[in-house]
Structure 1
Amino acid sequence: MARGLAALLALLVSASVSLPAAAAPADQEGDRIRELPGQPPNVDFSHYSGYVTVNQARGRALFYWLVEAAPAAGPVAPLVLWLNGGPGCSSVGYGASEEVGPFRIRPDGKTLYLNKHSWNKAANLLFLESPAGVGFSYSNTTMDLYTGGDAKTALDAYAFLVNWLERFPQYKYREFYIAGESYAGHYVPQLAKLIYEKSKGIQNPAINLKGFVVGNAVTDDYNDYLGTFEYWWSHGLISDSTYHNLKKTCLFDSSEHPSPECVKNLNLASSEEGNIDPYSLYTKPCNSSASLKLGLGGRYPWLSRAYDPCTERYSNIYYNLPEVQTALHANTTGIKYPWKTCSDIVGSYWADSPRSMLPIYHELIAAGIRIWVFSGDTDAVVPITATRYSISALKLPTLMNWYPWYDHGKVGGWSQVYKGLTLVTVAGAGHEVPLHRPRQALILFRHFLKDTPMPTQ
C-alpha cells in the first residue's frame, strides 16, 4: 500500500499530467446529444457526451456521457461520477447501459427503452470511460495503453474533472459524489483522496466532494482472498481440500502476483465450480458461456472478465453503429479498433495496484467524507464475505447493529452503520447490483445521498 501511495504522490509532485487550457463553456452545447438512434419518446432530461483532453503532450483524452437529472430531482440535484472497474471496463457499456443509466438496449442492439429505476431520478450522472484505451477514450501515445495503473488513472480522472467543470461551470460547487463497483473499489477512494488533498485549505472548492459509494468492491488483498475463498466453500462451490489449500497458498504470498501454487489451486477451484455464472450465482450463464476463468495473471484472477448476462452483447452492437457514434460525438479521431465493453490490453498490462484501500478509508473517514459500501449477496467474484472482512479490519465503532431493511414490507437486504461508514447488502443481487435489483439499488442510492439509514419495517 505504501508503494502505491508513494507513486501517486510522486506523480503529483512531478506534475507529469498536464491540465490544458479548458474549453469555453459554450462548448457544452456542442456536446449536447440531440437524439440517440432508437431513443424512446418522452425523454424529460438533457444529456451530453464528448471528449476532454487530460494530457495534451501525450494526446490522452477521456470520453464522458453526462445524463442530467430528471425534473423531479430538483434544480440543484447533486453531481455523481460513475466509474466501472476491470481494470479496463467501460462505464458506458456497464454503468450507463445496464445498471444506473436511463436507457437500456434491446436485444436487437439497435433500439432503446427507458430504465424506470435510473439513478438520474435523484442526481446528475457523469459516466467516464477511464483510463485511456477503455471504450471511446484514447491516447495518441500507444505506450499509454500498456502502462496503465491506479495512480495514473486517478490523476487523469482528476484532470478530467477540472477541465470538464470549465466546460460545465453550472456544476461547480455542486454537491459531488463518486460511485462505482468492482475494481472501481480502487479507483473511487483513490480519486476521492486526490480531490480531498487538492481541496485542502480551499474554502469553496469547485469539486465539492461530499462522499463516495462503492459496490462489490475490490478493497483489500488479504481480506478479499479470505472472504472469497470462504464464500466459495460455504456455498458448496469447492471441496474442503481446495478451500484449505487456497488459504494455505494464497493468503501469505507477499509478491506482486499470486504464486504458482496459488494459481494452481485457483484453477482447481474453477474446475470444481463448473459452468456457473460467478457474477450472479443463481442465474443461468448467457448461452452457457460464463465459466469462471481463474489463474490468468494479475492479483485478482477472478476479475478476468466482466459480467455477461447477454446485455453486454447488445452494447457491443449498439456502440459500434456509426450513427450511434456520430450522435454521441464519439470516435472522432477514427480509433483503429472497435468499441468493446472491456479493453483486451489495458487490464492485461496494469502497472500499479496498491494492496489495500483501508488506509485511504481511515483518512477520509477522519476527514468527514461520507462512505457507503454495498454488496449483492449472490456475487461469488467479490462476495459479501470479502467486503465484511475488509470493513471489520477498519475496526470502526458500531452505531446501528446488523438489521434487515425493507422495501414494501419485504426484506431488501441487511445493513450495519459504523462511525464513518455504512454497509448495505442487497438480497438476491449479483456483482452488478443495479442490474439485478434496480428498484432496491435506487432506494439505496437515495438513502446514501441523504445519508439516512436504510428503512426499517
Structure 2
Amino acid sequence: MELTATIMKPVLYSCLLFSFWLLSFLSFCEAADRQGEILHKLLMSGRSEKSRISSSRSWAAGLHGSNPSTYSPVCIEPQDGEMEADEIDALPGQPDGVDFDQYAGYVTVDQKAGRALFYYFVESPRNSSSNNPLILWLNGGPGCSSLGYGAMSELGPFRVNSDGQTLFRNDFAWNNVANVIFLESPAGVGFSYSNTSSNYDNAGDTTTAIDTYTFLVNWLERFPQYKSRDFFIAGESYAGHYVPQISSTILYNNENTNQTVINLKGIAADDEIGDIDIYNIYAPICLDSSLKNGSHGSRLCMDRSATYYSTYSKKYHSKWSDGDKDGRVPVVATRYSLNVLKLGVKNGWHAWYSEKEVGGYVVEYEGGLALVTVRGAGHLVPSNQPQRALTFISSFLQGTLPPSTP
C-alpha cells in the first residue's frame, strides 16, 4: 500500500494540476446551487427516519455513546517528510510575485478502508506575523468542494480569470490574516476518496466528524509548527452542521460537550418567491445562453454571488449572514433560532463599518455569541463582499466585534 502510494504521487500531482481548473469551473457551473439546494431539501423533508444524516441528538449518541470507556483513540500515521512532499512549487497560471507557501495532498483517515481526505493549505505571506492563527474551512452541500468553491471562488488567495487558464490574486483573501486549510470532506467530495465504495453510501454527519478529527490530528503531525497556534473552524451552508459537530468531537476528546440549534421559521414563503436567485435575491437572472446552467445560470454570469456563513471557535462564537439578499438561509431564520437560546443581550443591534461604509449590523449576546450581518451579501459572503468579509474575519480572529465606527 505504501509503495503504491509513493509511486503514484508524481502522477497524482500531475493530474491535480491538470484538473485544478476543471474542478474550479465545474464548482461554479454545475455545483453553484447544490450547496444550498441540498440543505434546503434536507430541511424541508422533515429529516425523515430514513435519512442517513442523523439528528443532532442521535448523532451525538452515535458518536460519543453512553459509555466514554468505549471510545477508541484515532490512529496517528507517521508523517515524516510528508509536509515537504506536499509543497506546491506553483499552480498553473498563477501570477508572479506570490509571497506565501502553499501545499496540497492526502491524509489517510482509515487505512483499512483506504479512505483519504484531500486538502489545500495556504499559509500567510512570509513577511506577516508568525503567530497568525490556523483556520479549517469547510464547504457544505453535503457534497460541495472546498477547493473549487471556497478556495478558488471565495476566500482563497487566487481567483480564476475568465479565460479559464490563468489566476489572479484575491486582494481580500483570508490568508492575509490566517493560515487556511481547505478540506474536501466527506470522502467522495472533490479529490477525497475511499477504496471501499460502501463508504460513499454510508457517509453522514457522524463519519464526517470523526474523519475530520482524524484528519486534523494527523495533519498537525505533518505540520507540527501549528500545534501551538490558535485554531478556528469555519464553513458555510451545510457546514453549519459540520462546524459545531466537529467542534463537539474535539471538545469531547477534552471531556466537554456542545450542541447546535436549527429553525425553519423565516423561509415560510418559499413557494411564493418566483423565478429569482434564492442565494442573492436582487441579482439578475443569467440570460447568457453560453454561460447558462440549470435554472438560474452560472455564478460567473452573476459576478460570483455571495454567502450565508457560520463560524465557531474554541474561544468565541459567531453566526453571520445578510437576510436582505440570501433567501435560502435568511437572517430572519437565524434570529428565530437564536431566540430559542433565550440569551440576554450584551451589546444591542448596531451598525459596523468597513472602509468608512456600513458593513452590516451586529448584536452581541451574553455567553460569547454574536450575530453579524454582512451588508450586500447573499449566500456566498467572501465571494460577493470580499472586503467586508475580510474585515469581519480579521475582527473575529482577534476576539472582537467588527468596528462600530467608520
**Is the TM-score greater than 0.5?**
yes
- The corresponding residue for 2:383 is 435
Q: Deviations over 1:150-197 (max 9, x none)?
A: 111000000000111111111112111011111000000111111112
- The corresponding residue for 1:21 is 77
Q: 1:415 aligns with which of 362, 372, 392?
A: 362
Give 4+ residue runs of structure 1 displaced > 6 Å after superposition.
311-314
SS class of match (1:189)? helix
Instruction: Give the direction of change, closer, same or farther, for the CA distance of 1:446–1:370 in structure 2 (3 Å limit).
Output: same
Post-superposition shift, 1:376?
Answer: 2.7
Distance (whole Å) between structure 1 residues aligned to residue 221 and residue 335 of structure 2: 40
Distance (whole Å) between structure 2 residues aligned to residue 389 and residue 45 of structure 1: 42
- The corresponding residue for 1:382 is 329
Asked if 2 retains the 8 angstrom alpha-carbon contact of 1:286 and 1:310, the reply is no
- The corresponding residue for 1:88 is 143
- The corresponding residue for 2:281 is 281
SS class of match (1:178)? strand
Matches within 5 A, 1:313-324: none
Point out the more displaced range, 406-415 or 142-151: 406-415
Distance (whole Å) between structure 2 residues aligned to residue 123 and residue 311 of structure 1: 30
Post-superposition shift, 1:72?
Answer: 5.0
Identical positions, percent: 47
Distance (whole Å) between structure 1 residues aligned to residue 301 and residue 196 of structure 2: 32
- The corresponding residue for 2:87 is 32
- The corresponding residue for 1:369 is 315
Q: 1:226 aligns with which of 265, 269, 273?
A: 265
Instruction: Give the direction of change, closer, same or farther, for the CA distance of 1:17–1:98 in structure 2 (3 Å limit).
Output: farther
Letter in 2 for 1:310: L
Q: Deviations over 1:53-91 (max 9, x none)?
A: 000111110000110012354011110000011011111
Q: Deviations over 1:180-219 (max 9, x none)?
A: 1110000001111111121349xxxxxxxxx9xxxxxxx6
Distance (whole Å) between structure 2 residues aligned to residue 408 and residue 113 of structure 1: 23
Instruction: Give the direction of change, closer, same or farther, for the CA distance of 1:445–1:48 in structure 2 (3 Å limit).
Output: same
Q: 2:129 aligns with which of 62, 66, 74?
A: 74
Q: Which runs of 5+ in 2 are unaligned?
A: 1-55, 305-310
- The corresponding residue for 1:449 is 397
SS class of match (1:423)? strand
Distance (whole Å) between structure 1 residues aligned to residue 166 and residue 240 of structure 2: 32
Q: What do you get for the CA RMSD once the two structures are aligned?
A: 2.7
Asked if 2 retains the 8 angstrom alpha-carbon contact of 1:405 and 1:415, the reply is yes
Matches within 5 A, 1:237-386: 269=271, 272-287=272-287, 289=293, 291=295, 308-310=298-300, 369-377=315-323, 378-386=325-333
Asked if 1 retains the 8 angstrom alpha-carbon contact of 2:286 and 2:302, the reply is no
Distance (whole Å) between structure 1 residues aligned to residue 174 and residue 235 of structure 2: 13
With structure 1 as the length reference, what TM-score do the two structures score? 0.69
Asked if 1 retains the 8 angstrom alpha-carbon contact of 2:136 and 2:234, the reply is yes
- The corresponding residue for 1:205 is none
Q: 2:176 aligns with which of 110, 117, 121?
A: 121
Asked if 1 retains the 8 angstrom alpha-carbon contact of 2:64 and 2:71, the reply is no
Asked if 2 retains the 8 angstrom alpha-carbon contact of 1:226 and 1:386, the reply is yes
Asked if 2 retains the 8 angstrom alpha-carbon contact of 1:32 and 1:47, the reply is yes
Letter in 1 for 2:161: R
- The corresponding residue for 2:59 is 4
Post-superposition shift, 1:13?
Answer: 6.4
Instruction: Give the direction of change, closer, same or farther, for the CA distance of 1:104–1:278 in structure 2 (3 Å limit).
Output: same
Asked if 2 retains the 8 angstrom alpha-carbon contact of 1:276 and 1:291, the reply is no
Q: 2:103 aligns with which of 36, 44, 48?
A: 48
With structure 2 as the length reference, what TM-score do the two structures score? 0.77
Letter in 2 for 1:198: N
Distance (whole Å) between structure 2 residues aligned to residue 403 and residue 186 of structure 1: 28
Greater relative contact order structure (CA < 8 Å, 6+ sep)? 1
- The corresponding residue for 1:215 is none
Instruction: Give the direction of change, closer, same or farther, for the CA distance of 1:170–1:67 in structure 2 (3 Å limit).
Output: same
Distance (whole Å) between structure 2 residues aligned to residue 164 and residue 97 of structure 1: 22
Asked if 2 retains the 8 angstrom alpha-carbon contact of 1:47 and 1:67, the reply is yes
Point out the more displaced range, 117-126 or 103-112: 103-112
Post-superposition shift, 1:369?
Answer: 3.3
Q: 1:171 aligns with which of 214, 218, 226?
A: 226
Asked if 2 retains the 8 angstrom alpha-carbon contact of 1:413 and 1:427, the reply is yes
- The corresponding residue for 1:406 is 353
Letter in 2 for 1:446: S
Letter in 2 for 1:427: R
Letter in 1 for 2:299: P
Letter in 1 for 2:365: Y
Q: Deviations over 1:322-343 (max 9, x none)?
A: xxxxxxxxxxxxxxxxxxxxxx
Letter in 1 for 2:99: D
Letter in 1 for 2:388: Q
Letter in 2 for 1:116: D
Instruction: Give the direction of change, closer, same or farther, for the CA distance of 1:161–1:47 in structure 2 (3 Å limit).
Output: same
Letter in 2 for 1:273: I
Q: Deviations over 1:267-289 (max 9, x none)?
A: xx1xx433311111111234464
- The corresponding residue for 1:302 is none
SS class of match (1:71)? coil
Distance (whole Å) between structure 2 residues aligned to residue 34 and residue 311 of structure 1: 32
Distance (whole Å) between structure 2 residues aligned to residue 286 and residue 434 of structure 1: 21
Letter in 2 for 1:19: C
Post-superposition shift, 1:115?
Answer: 0.1
